[in-house]
Amino acid sequence: MSEIRHPELLAIADNCVACGLCVPQCPSYQVLQNEADSPRGRIALMRGVLEHKLQPTARLQQHLDQCLTCRQCEKVCPNQVAYGRLVDGMRAELLQQQPARLPWLKRLGLQRLAHRPQWWGRLLKLVRLPLVRPLLRHLPASQAWLPTLREMMRRYQPQRWQPCYPPSGEERGEVMLFLGCLARAVDVAAINAAIQLLNLFGFRVWVPQQQVCCGALLKHAGDAVGAAGLLATNRNVFAGTMPVLTLASGCGADLQDAGDASFGARVMEVAAFLERHADWRLVECAPLAERVTLHDPCTLRNVMRSEQAYHRLLQRIPGLQLLPLAGNQQCCGAAGTYHLQHPQIARQLRDDKISAINTTGAEHVCSANFACGMWLNTALDGAERQVQHPLLLLQQQIRKASSC
């Protein structure tokens, strides 16, 4: 194996002073109680590889792979170590050295789905066929991913998106909407709610038809080249000066984090945009005398830093009681495809989150990331209390003001 030489990554690792403030914040450390599975421990391992003092053995790589990339460590780090960039960069370096880390068939599948996000819907249609579903139970590790697949099939709705959704009344601005890849198949109701709310406030919504995956799936798998290609495509597709709005915070975080200043600075969560730019005198909120608890996705809290926008939007609903969720800063375990690759760690984190949700006694549970919502739904009891996007609750209660 040739030596890994990457001065930029080593500079990031050297910025860590090993103070340990990140250790108790790390979800994988909370489960495994192993220093090598904490941010400080992983940085020490990566520094050792970058300085050619350690070999990237299978055991060392396992410690890196067990990271959920929740980036809670970045939020508490006094030195502002760019841990996410470091761990993704190291995964890319290791994949370059060891291509077998991402089998060619899996890489090809991820790349095809990333460039043709509409294929997610076609796959879910295929899975619904009576002859296909029994066969899936016999595939390797099916017990790990079948609950998520069932939740995806439950939420799937076919939808063809128009290029433009004009407001019915006076136009007050224009935005562009990023659909995501899997989200466009399983989070259709939330996307429609966002469009309707934006139209209600007078915003014309453009939906570029050539948009592709944000690149997070490829980047976290180590395919930095593939992820960069997707980012370049989206940068061209979303060219201009309009705000680029997202609903899935995982997508928004990746676009905001990876884009250049002119592109990344235009990426916003829908809630943050509505809070900042919507004229709330145009609408009225019907009362809702029920209890709601709101799960904050890691990407929204630690990368986009706009989780409080959803809290404030829901508080506009008269009578609604917004209940705090204990341990909200802790990852739920979904982390993209992490829960499929490390089901035991993910299930423990999910079960801790479910316990906290049940303790609140809330009638409604909301999350601004569809992947987190699906993962939590695999363990929530009862169809009457499923995790939903907070925009659905807001849209349900909001209407145009009678004075307008």
pLDDT tens per residue, range 332-353: 999 988 998 999 999 999 999 9
CB 189 within 8 A of CB 387: no
The residue among 333, 343, 403 whose CA lies nearest residue 374 is 333
**121-166 pLDDT per residue, tens:** 888 888 877 777 777 776 666 677 788 888 888 899 999 999 999 9
At 33, list the tokens: 């109680």
Distance from C-alpha of 271 to C-alpha of 306, rounded to nearest angstrom: 8
The reply to whether CATH 1.10.1040.10 applies to domain 283-400 is no
Distance from C-alpha of 27 to C-alpha of 44, rounded to nearest angstrom: 18
- pLDDT(118) > 90: no
pLDDT above 90: percentage of residues in the chain: 72
Strands (E), 117-264: 164-165, 173-177, 203-206, 244-246
CB 392 within 8 A of CB 193: yes
DSSP secondary structure string for all residues of 225-266: HHHHHHHHHHHHHT-SSS-EEESSHHHHHHHHHHS-HHHHTT
- The full set of domain ranges for the chain reads 7-101, 283-400
Confidence at residue 395, expressed as pLDDT on a 0 to 100 scale: 95
Distance from C-alpha of 117 to C-alpha of 207, rounded to nearest angstrom: 14
Distance from C-alpha of 85 to C-alpha of 11, rounded to nearest angstrom: 11
Confidence of residue 1 (pLDDT cuts 50, 70, 90): very low
Distance from C-alpha of 208 to C-alpha of 161, rounded to nearest angstrom: 9
CB 370 within 8 A of CB 186: yes
Confidence at residue 396, expressed as pLDDT on a 0 to 100 scale: 94
Distance from C-alpha of 386 to C-alpha of 161, rounded to nearest angstrom: 26
Alpha carbons within 13 A on the beta-carbon side of 76: 17
**7-101 CATH, one of 3.40.1130.10, 1.10.1060.10, 1.10.3470.10, 3.40.630.30:** 1.10.1060.10
Q: Rounded mean pLDDT of the chain?
A: 91
Q: If you search the block for the tokens 């980012």, which residue do you land on? A: 231
CB 214 within 8 A of CB 251: yes
CA distances (Å), 248 to each of 104, 126, 180, 311, 369, in order?
28, 24, 7, 16, 5
Confidence at residue 162, expressed as pLDDT on a 0 to 100 scale: 96
- pLDDT(46) > 90: yes
**271-322 pLDDT per residue, tens:** 999 999 999 999 999 999 999 999 999 999 999 999 999 999 999 999 999 9
H/E element holding 387?
A: strand 387-388
**221-278 pLDDT per residue, tens:** 888 899 999 999 999 999 999 999 999 898 999 998 876 778 989 999 999 999 999 9
Q: Matching CATH topology for 7-101 and 283-400?
A: no
Tell me what the mean pLDDT of segment 4-9 comes to: 82
Confidence at residue 64, expressed as pLDDT on a 0 to 100 scale: 95
Q: Is 45 helix (H, G, I), strand (E, B) or coil?
A: helix
- pLDDT(404) > 60: no
CA 347 to chain centre: 18
Confidence at residue 145, expressed as pLDDT on a 0 to 100 scale: 78
**72-114 pLDDT per residue, tens:** 999 999 999 999 999 999 999 999 888 888 888 888 888 888 8
Q: What pTM does this model have? A: 0.92
Confidence of residue 381 (pLDDT cuts 50, 70, 90): low
**195-204 pLDDT per residue, tens:** 999 999 999 9
